[in-house]
Amino acid sequence: MTTQPASIELPDWAWERAEVREALRARKMGAVFRYAQQYAGVSQSRIAAAAGMTQARVNEIINGRREVSRLDVYERIADGLCMPDDARHLLGLAASREKRSGGAAFDLAAFPEVVRVYAAQNSAAEEIQQQTREAQELDVLAVRGLGLLGLNDSLLRACLPREQGGKGLRVRVALLDPDSDALAQRAAEIGESSESLAGGVRLAEARLRELSDTCDISVWRYRMLPTWRVIRADSTMFVGAFDAGWEGHESATYKVMETPHGPLFRGFRRMFEAVIAGAQRMV
């Protein structure tokens, strides 16, 4: 597919939002057009030019007076809105022939919960912060958590609604028990002393305790060897892995969204609840 001058490009994250994906699955093109207006700031006439329609036809679709039923029209809309391949698959279309830069290394249509793959946490930082600012629930499974919540310039600390008193936000943080055998093993894996790693966990706990007056926060110590690094903001998760060869923030990071029958989101959420159930609450 060759991008036309009139084409519209939505932010990558817009195609990953649950409501947009649901509209694509249901082929509700009026809703898709409204999201294009919302997330790309375009007019009906711009959408019409991109999709090869008249402005009046776009208006009818947006207002539910006309539906799209022809495959060639879906193709024009997908091309005009520069839909990524996973969005095209949700709409029932084949992948575009053009290789998109920055795309996933495999067919995301086979894994509809996994909507994006990042090389490392740093590449996902903006997405993670945006989801956290909008969330009502935030769960974090980490080792020491300093880079996520424990420091003033950490990834998530500035996203917590301190000025609003944390209204409506529940935060649960699970950190590795500094007195556990698992911490000693993890320290050896990353070439760090147990004392240093344990001190980092305790510092993170102290800094998280400072947030108890500004949001509903609880901090827990678990004793199992860390495997998964999880950040859940409502129905969106960012998942990485701990391994002997790298720290959690260096891992490839998967953006996983809740779907009606998908096992990944449900499995990771169930795992987090099991970790909390067997952990000791510190804050």
Residues 68 and 144 in one domain: no
Residues 50 and 136 in one domain: no
pLDDT tens-digit readout, 52-82? 999 999 999 999 999 888 888 989 999 999 9
Residues 253 and 134 in one domain: yes
Q: Is residue 208 part of a domain?
A: yes
pLDDT tens-digit readout, 199-256? 999 999 999 999 887 788 999 999 999 999 999 999 999 999 999 878 888 889 999 9
Residue 133: which domain range? Answer: 117-281
What pLDDT sits at residue 25? 86
Q: Is residue 112 part of a domain?
A: no
Q: Is residue 69 part of a domain?
A: yes
pTM of the complete model beyond 0.85: no
Residues 68 and 185 in one domain: no
Q: CATH number, domain at 19?
A: 1.10.260.40
Residues 94 and 133 in one domain: no
Q: Is residue 199 part of a domain?
A: yes
Residues 192 and 266 in one domain: yes
HSE toward the beta carbon, residue 147, CA cutoff 13 A: 12
What pLDDT sits at residue 261? 75
- The average pLDDT across 3-11 equals 76
Q: How many domains does the chain have?
A: 2
What pLDDT sits at residue 89? 83
Range in 1-10, 149-158, 170-179 the model is least confident about: 1-10
- The average pLDDT across 20-46 equals 92
**Separation between Cα atoms, residue 243 and residue 229, nearest integer Å:** 10
Residues 66 and 132 in one domain: no
pLDDT tens-digit readout, 90-147? 888 877 754 444 444 445 555 678 888 888 899 899 989 988 988 899 999 999 999 9
What pLDDT sits at residue 163? 45
Residues 276 and 227 in one domain: yes
Residues 217 and 151 in one domain: yes
What pLDDT sits at residue 159? 86
Q: Is residue 37 part of a domain?
A: yes
Q: Is residue 75 part of a domain?
A: yes
